[in-house]
Amino acid sequence: MKKIFITGTDTDIGKTFVSVGLCLKLEALNYKVGYFKPLQSGAYKKNGAIAAPDLEELKKYSNIPSKYSYLFEGEISPHLAALINNIEVDINKIKDDFTIFSSKFDFTIVEGAGGIYCPAYKHAKFSDIIKALDIETIVVTTPKLGRLNHLLMTLECAKINNIKVKGVIINSMAQKTTLSEQNFIKELREFSDVDILGVIPRLNNPDKKEILETFKNVNLE
């Protein structure tokens, strides 16, 4: 059973899109795949129930099983949402949920929030959750100006915390690239030996077929 944590260099970097793409790719390869979200904020009402936005995004394309441990309302960080709602997050609950859920699948994709140093809950960052779950990580970034700095810092933080990085996925590469975007991969290879698992083009409202085609060459082996 393989488990991969999806983190990013920032918020709104495309972690959910990449998580969905990897889930669909693995499903198409006939793996039993599950999607796990330890902490989910931004919950909203749907048909009289509270819906988890990232799980709902996956449901647009597939019936792949999904689960969260904690769900919070409000477009704020899970850390702040837990504080406002006076909810004490228990890492042992997250670990137990993950162990039971992931045991059912060949692959489990786990998505964080923000980056690995983003506050997760009281006195804990998402790096603490990654270490508690003891799984390797994929870092999602975009090639925009300034993101190489964020990416190199993320890789350094992972190294300091003994978090194994499987590789990087570069998301939202424009068709017409800027000079900075054109040199992003070259500069990354100059300053890091991290594996580049895939380069995802910028897509607008893709359907399932387009997502599968886009993630076809992403390397998860």
DSSP 209: H
- Mind listing the pLDDT tens digit for each residue in 70-107? 999 888 889 998 998 889 999 999 999 999 999 999 99
Residue type, 154: T
Structural domains of the chain in order of their starting residue, each with its CATH number: 2-214 (3.40.50.300)
196 near 184, Cβ under 8 Å? no
Q: Does 164 participate in catalysis according to the annotation?
A: no
pLDDT of residue 39: 97
pLDDT of residue 74: 81
Share of the chain above pLDDT 90, in %: 82
Share of the chain above pLDDT 70, in %: 100
Which one of the listed residues 15, 25, 37, 125 is annotated catalytic? 37
- Mind listing the pLDDT tens digit for each residue in 30-65? 999 999 999 999 888 888 778 899 999 999 999 999
Mean pLDDT, all residues of the chain:
94
DSSP 105: -
pLDDT of residue 132: 97
pTM listed for this prediction: 0.95
Q: Which residues pair with 7 in a beta bridge?
A: 139
CB atoms within 10 A of CB 91: 16
Rounded CA-CA distance 99/89 in Å is 17
pLDDT of residue 1: 83
